[in-house]
Amino acid sequence: MVRQDRSDRRSGGHKRGKGRDDHHYHHGGQKTSKTTKPPVNENSPVIAVFRTFQTELDSVHDKYERLVKLSRDVTIDSKRVIFLLHRISNDEKKQSVLEEADSKIANVKQRLCQITQELQGEDPYRYLRAISPGVQEFIEALLFYHYIKNNKLLGHKELEQQLSFVVTNESEGSKVNQARDAGMKQQKGSDVKKPEEDTSEETATETKTEAENESSTEPKSCVTGGGDEAPPETLKIDMHIPPNEYMLGMADFTGELMRMCINSVGSGDRETPFQLVSFMREIYDGFQLLGNTPNREVVRKLYTMRQSLKKVENTCYTLHVRGSEIPEHMLLDAIASVEKGERGFAGDNDGEE
């Protein structure tokens, strides 16, 4: 009997609580589902505060997306400038290519002016991840252009001077911020007993902000340069380039120097590789002074820079030692064979270790 009672309890114990897992019971005996939520009191000051947070976060996310799109355009246009500069094969073609590259760089600066307008009044490092790829690609293209034109490295201060803009009219980005701030102040000072009116005003403000965001894509109000003082009825804005971004762009720039070295050998120019190898060694020695850096991206690009410098050194070695005995049309094959031989030698040493 005891065993049977225990089995009955085990098998039938769930019958007492049948239905209680799915519903709650009020004191009146009415069933209510767990999924039923109490109505939200729109007149609550707490809800009003969170509506303000929602508006502010939406504006931050929208600005981040706009900066990502602008950075993508800057990256594409900067790559086109680099590809154009690699077409220089002789001095006769150099001037025409540089003039075309100068016009393309001016178009890229218009995009950067839009980015500068968006970042006015903001922490420059808050949106750095959104614009970092485009900024590094532009630095790489501008350093490459400046080296081909003036045969020297463009410094960090000189770079920032070229990214100084004069806005002839009030920037659209500042209009967006003013509209957003006005909407937030209006929402804070409004009466909480009129949620419908607040909602309509907020919707109108968001519609106005979206229209201004669409109009902010027109870079017609930016003028590059402008000197120390801006004319009246204009605004002078400067784009801040963090030193770390400048260094990363310079590291990518050495890769373009390596490609320039190989192209010069293919066109029969035997003097340019020796100029490039000494210039790249100076840059590499400067990076070595940094020591062990915790930045993973700097370490990765430093390794790539070392590989590019090694290729240029192998090219100069082949030209200096075997250049007289190898025909010009076979120099590139000889350089490639030297690199393959070194790779195989390195692989044998790794196997022995």
Q: What pLDDT digit, counting tens, does each position of 61-80 carry?
A: 999 999 999 999 999 999 99
Distance CA 209, CA 221 (A): 19
SS3 content of the chain, % helix, strand, coil (to 5): 70, 5, 25
Give me the phi and psi of 193, to 5 degrees please: -85, 0
Distance CA 313, CA 292 (A): 24
Residue 213 · residue 62 · CB < 8 Å: yes
The CA–CA distances, whole Å, from 62 to 59, 66, 104, 255 equal: 5, 6, 28, 35
Distance CA 88, CA 272 (A): 13
**How many helices, marked H, and strands, marked E, lie in the chain?**
11, 5
Higher pLDDT, 56 or 39: 56
Compute CA 252 distance to the chain's CA centroid, rounded to the nearest angstrom: 15
Distance CA 343, CA 310 (A): 12
Q: What is the percent of the chain where pLDDT is above 70? A: 63
Query: How high is the pLDDT of residue 136?
Result: 96
* Per-residue tokens: 106: 């001016």
Give the pLDDT band of residue 202 (cuts 50, 70, 90). Answer: very low
Give the pLDDT band of residue 112 (cuts 50, 70, 90). Answer: very high
Distance CA 96, CA 103 (A): 11
Of 40-54, 249-263, 295-309, where does mean pLDDT reach its minimum? Answer: 40-54
Q: To 10 degrees, what angle do helices 296-322 and 272-288 make?
A: 150
Distance CA 94, CA 115 (A): 31
Helical (H) or strand (E) element with 166: strand 164-167
Torsion of CA 31, 37, 41, 45, to 10 degrees: 130
Q: To 10 degrees, what angle do helices 172-189 and 91-118 make?
A: 10
Distance CA 342, CA 161 (A): 43
Give me the phi and psi of 232, to 5 degrees please: -60, 155
Amino acid at 323: G
Higher pLDDT, 220 or 93: 93
**pTM, entire model:** 0.70
Distance CA 146, CA 301 (A): 21
CA-only gyration radius of the chain, Å: 32
pLDDT digits (tens, 9 = 90+) for 186-196: 444 444 344 44
